[in-house]
Chain A
């Protein structure tokens, strides 16, 4: 019953997403436009420590944009919890036998499917940024994107669950998610940053997600996988697990 309920809630997420054309455009086009404009604008004018040789900003910024797409999708898919509560739909789920756990896993599965789909679509543009992932690298990219998507959807869920206003949610997102992304290495490498920023980046789990994405994308066909991939992957997995457990604890508590 639990699996059937979770599947149904995940299917609902995907159906709603596809029926809201603005959402599809917003989630996909905004990061890509952001990447194209900022990447092209900055171009080769910044040469900071940590940039790879002959790498322009359009290339450096690409993994960060993949991360941003996952982040955006997680935000959009979890804000619906607040809408569901306000419109009454959530109550109908909460009185079902496994409703509480099903809503969590349904949202996680639904949000992850949407994020993975959108991120992979963008990854297919990688050759335009001088990245040439082969099938082996794509497999690992898919894995890290999926784990990141679960974790970020869980984080969005954790924030959205107790809230009753979408405005409040967006305010928290700006305060919390955006700095998390800024400090992941998506916009600038840690090497040239101030010491205190580097410390923050070291403690930001998203940095390890970005590092894994960047390392994998830079892996040319036939080259070995990045040496720190398993380290990055472990930290992202552990953070995701903690967030999912926190969500499970939160939904199990009734008023």
Chain B
């Protein structure tokens, strides 16, 4: 399959705020119809990268093409192709839902008659057709997100860019949002690029780019990145992980790592499942829980940076 034209392709992208370098030599490729996640802890530079791709920030270093067109040379045609969902809803709280959508359509020069038809369709598709006359400020966070999605899709973009789309939403609404996005992808064949600092949100993406302090630390398909980390392993919960680790190490042919309230045991030979059962039996008096684990994106981050995901600095 030839992927010479990507929905979004970035090469060697760099960005500095004054003397402070916040992005350095970033590459990414979003295939048409694909879903790409820029994953990073707070302060990793993902929002800066997002603002460059969405044309808010000027491209300083490197090249980005969207649908085969250079973002540097043709920002206006690029803007026509993309739909952008920001961290904070870009809707006017003092306008009604319908007025917000109408305003957005006018910004993109949509024909007024066609615009009304599209507004009706989108409100219905997002389940907010009965809220058209209400002020946005009177809606809940979840409904505002729906309104914003309805708004963004008015212009029928081929690429949807989302910056931390679930920020400020409770878990139930997050899940609802992702199912809406998934439905839209299937019906409209959208290419989706999103940023998140939530590891679990990156899992459904076709590919991820893992950022840390402005640098790319890993990229590729989630499954391949996981398998590159090695085998399944066993995590034993313990009140005294150091002592437990010391005993288990004596057995040999296993790798043992001490964690804050657990011990990670990786078999160098054989499978993790039988090992988990054996360790549970032999150390039951010292072990509070046994978990059979697959390598996660958090493990990947730890392996690449030497730091825990939760110990990262503030957002850029």
Query: Which residues on A are within 8 Å of B, measured CB to CB?
Result: 1, 4-5, 7-9, 11-12, 15-16, 19-20, 87-99, 102, 254-255
B315 to chain A minimum Cβ distance, whole angstroms, is 15
B56 touches A8 (CB 8 A): no
Contacts of B55 in A (CB 8 A): 94-95, 254
- Shortest Cβ distance from B157 into chain A, in angstroms? 10
Residues from chain A with a CB closer than 8 A to the CB of B54 are 95
Question: Which residue numbers of B lie inside 8 Å of A, CB to CB?
Answer: 51, 54-58, 76, 79-80, 82, 84, 86-95, 99, 102-104, 106-109, 151
Q: List chain B residues, Cβ under 8 A from A7.
A: 106
User: Is B56's CB under 8 angstroms from A92's CB?
Assistant: no
Q: Which residues of B contact A12 (CB under 8 A)?
A: 92, 95, 103
Question: Once the chains are docked, how many angstroms separate the CA of A8 from the CA of B154?
Answer: 16
Q: A88-B86, A255-B56, A255-B57 are in contact. Are A95 and B79 (CB under 8 A)?
A: yes
Q: Are B92 and A16 in contact (CB under 8 A)?
A: yes
A89 to B107, CA, bound (A): 13
Q: Which residue of B lies closest to A11 (CB)?
A: B103
Q: Are B106 and A95 in contact (CB under 8 A)?
A: no
Report whether B57 and A254 are in contact in the complex, using a CB–CB cutoff of 8 Å.
Answer: yes
Residue of B nearest to A2 (CB): B109
> Which residues of chain A are within 8 angstroms of B102 by Cβ–Cβ distance?
8
Give 7 nearest A-B pairs by CB, closest first.
A92-B90, A1-B109, A88-B88, A8-B106, A254-B58, A96-B107, A97-B79
- Which residues of chain B are within 8 angstroms of A88 by Cβ–Cβ distance? 86-91
A88–B141 Cα distance when bound, in Å, is 14
Known contacts A1-B109, A88-B89: A97-B76 contact under CB 8 Å: yes
Partner of A91, one of B58, B80, B90, B106: B90
B140 to chain A, nearest CB (A): 17
Contact, CB under 8 Å: A95 / B88:
no
Residues of B within 8 A of A4 (CB): 106-107, 109
- Chain A residues with CB under 8 A of B51: 255
Chain B nearest Cβ from A9, distance in angstroms: 8
Q: What are 10 A-B pairs with beta-carbon distances under 8 A?
A: A5-B108, A8-B102, A8-B103, A8-B107, A88-B86, A88-B88, A91-B86, A92-B84, A98-B76, A254-B57
Task: Note all chain B residues with C-beta closer than 8 A to A15.
Answer: 94-95, 99
Centre residue among A89, A99, A102 by max chain B CB count within 10 A: A89
Q: Which of A20, A87, A99 contacts B107 (CB 8 A)?
A: A99
Q: Which of A11, A87, A255 contacts B58 (CB 8 A)?
A: A255
Contacts of B104 in A (CB 8 A): 92
CA–CA, A68 and B51, complex, Å:
39
A96 surroundings in chain B (CB, below 8 A): 79, 107-108
Q: Is the CB of B90 within 8 A of A5?
A: no
Which residue, A12, A95, A96, has most C-beta atoms of chain B within 10 A? A95
Known pairs A15-B99, A98-B76. 5 more at Cβ < 8 A? A19-B94, A91-B56, A91-B86, A92-B84, A97-B76
Give A90 to B86 CA distance when docked, in angstroms: 11
Within the complex, the shortest CB–CB distance from B95 to chain A, in Å, comes to 7
Q: How far apart are B233's CB and chain A's nearest CB, in angstroms? A: 42
- The residue on B at minimum CB distance from A20 is B94
User: Considering the chains assembled together, what is the distance between the CA atoms of A189 and B76 in angstroms?
Assistant: 51
> Once the chains are docked, how many angstroms separate the CA of A237 from the CA of B224?
65
- Nearest Cβ distance between residue A38 and chain B, in whole angstroms? 33
Please indicate the chain A residues that have their CB under 8 angstroms from the CB of B106 in the complex. Answer: 4-5, 7-8
Write the nearest CB–CB distance from A101 to chain B, whole angstroms: 11
A16 to B135, CA, bound (A): 12
Task: Specify which chain A residues have a CB less than 8 angstroms from the CB of B109 in the assembled complex.
Answer: 1, 4-5, 97-98
Most buried by B among A11, A16, A88, A97: A97
Q: A1-B109, A5-B109, A12-B103 are in contact. Are A95 and B84 (CB under 8 A)?
A: yes
Are A102 and B107 in contact (CB-based, < 8 A)?
Answer: yes
Q: Which residues of A contact B89 (CB under 8 A)?
A: 88
| A99, B80: Cα distance in complex, Å | 11
Closest to A5 in B: B107
| Inter-chain contacts of A16 with B (CB < 8 A) | 92, 94-95
Chain B hits for A20, CB < 8 A: 94
Minimum CB distance partner of B79 in chain A: A97
When C-beta atoms are compared, the residue in chain A nearest to B85 turns out to be A92
Nearest CB on A from B217, distance (A): 25
- Among B58, B76, B90, B106, which residue has the most Cβ atoms of chain A within 10 A? B106
Question: Would you give the shortest CB distance from B286 to chain A, in whole angstroms?
Answer: 52
